[in-house]
Amino acid sequence: MTKVKVAVLGSGNIGTDLLYKLRRSSVLELTAMIGIDPASDGLARAKQLGCATFDTGLNDFLEQQPELAEIIFDATSAKAHIRHAKALRNAGKVAIDLTPAAVGALVVPTVNIQEHLNETNLNLVTCGGQATIPIVHAIQRVAPVEYAEIVATISSKSAGPGTRANIDEFTETTARGIENIGGAKKGKAIIILNPAEPPILMRDTVYALVERERLDRAAITRSIVETVRAIQSYVPGYRLRTEPLFDDNKVTVFLEVEGAGDYLPTYSGNLDIMTAAAVKVAEEIARHRLEGAAIGEEMQS
């Protein structure tokens, strides 16, 4: 076996964008898309790509052809994932949750994926979390972060019904991730929907207050640049807008995220970073499983 089979749950914008990213993976085999709208563009595209499609929801997939996938990407909603999580766990599937439900372990690929390779439910935090938590962590590696605040600004056009319905979950889950993954003692998250035309790219600002005694501007800058390069390996449009700024013990970092344009517009960097991070997490899990299977075969032979 050279690939791990995966399916996408949710045939909206995020789920459809996942289709195209997954088809480029060297270790993941896209087999199915599951939705509830038979007329959705996502299910139509999945069928064109040769995937099995299910338009009556997760339960029918699990009852009819559960063997089609080991890993399921949930691109529905926070409330729906609470139901899905239980069903997927009972079916022995790995759930990668792109909603802010935060049922499972909060994961940011560049920071803590290696700690969660055997988990059965992994949560991708939020788009703002994926963009900014690694920066908080990069600063924390050099100097303890007493307080971190992030402001995520996205185009109003790239905020669909799911994003708008989960604003509270966004702020709460992102703040928790800033603390539990980023390492800040206290975290806060703010999201702004900008209606400007033409639509703006996703822009994020990170403010961090660090211990004065441990402040090393050069080391903090190096750590941030290293982290940005690591994220660019799976989100090419992720970049610093300026060099990190220092004011006494406050560090300010300005970021921009441009989407790859697979299915979503390039201004939808907020959605693109989620799908790209989800694929990265699944690939790390797949490699871990494939390596384990290879070792097992060697021992038997």
Residues 86, 84: Cα–Cα separation, whole Å: 6
Q: Is 75 annotated as a binding residue?
A: no
Annotated catalytic residue within 51, 68, 103, 127: 127
Q: Is 162 annotated as a binding residue?
A: yes
State the pairing for strand pair 245-247/250-257. antiparallel
Q: Is 266 annotated as a binding residue?
A: no
Q: Helix, strand or coil for residue 146?
A: strand
Q: Is 184 annotated as a binding residue?
A: no
Q: Is 180 annotated as a binding residue?
A: no
Kindly state the helix (H) or strand (E) to which residue 193 belongs, with its residue range: strand 187-194
Phi, psi at 144, each rounded to 5°:
-55, 130
**CB 238, CB 230: distance < 8 Å:** no
Q: Is 7 annotated as a binding residue?
A: no
CA 262 centroid distance within chain: 16
Q: Is 161 annotated as a binding residue?
A: yes
Q: Is 159 annotated as a binding residue?
A: yes
Q: Is 92 annotated as a binding residue?
A: no
Active site residue 51: no
Beta-strand ranges (E) seen in 76-159 are: 94-97, 105-106, 121-123, 145-155
Positive/negative CA dihedral, 281, 26, 94, 272: positive
For the sheet containing 4-9, what is the strand order? 52-54, 28-34, 4-9, 71-74, 94-97, 121-123, 105-106
- Three-state SS sequence of 29-78: EEEEEECCCCCCHHHHHHHHCCCEEECCCHHHHHHHCHHHCCEEEECCCH
Q: Is 270 annotated as a binding residue?
A: yes
Q: Is 181 annotated as a binding residue?
A: no
Q: Is 59 annotated as a binding residue?
A: no
* Residue among 93, 119, 118 at smallest CA distance from 105: 119
Q: Is 166 annotated as a binding residue?
A: yes
Residues 176, 200: Cα–Cα separation, whole Å: 27
Q: Is 163 annotated as a binding residue?
A: yes
- Residues annotated within a binding site: 11-14, 158-166, 270
- Residues annotated within a binding site for NAD(+): 11-14, 158-166, 270
Q: Please list the active-site residues.
A: 127
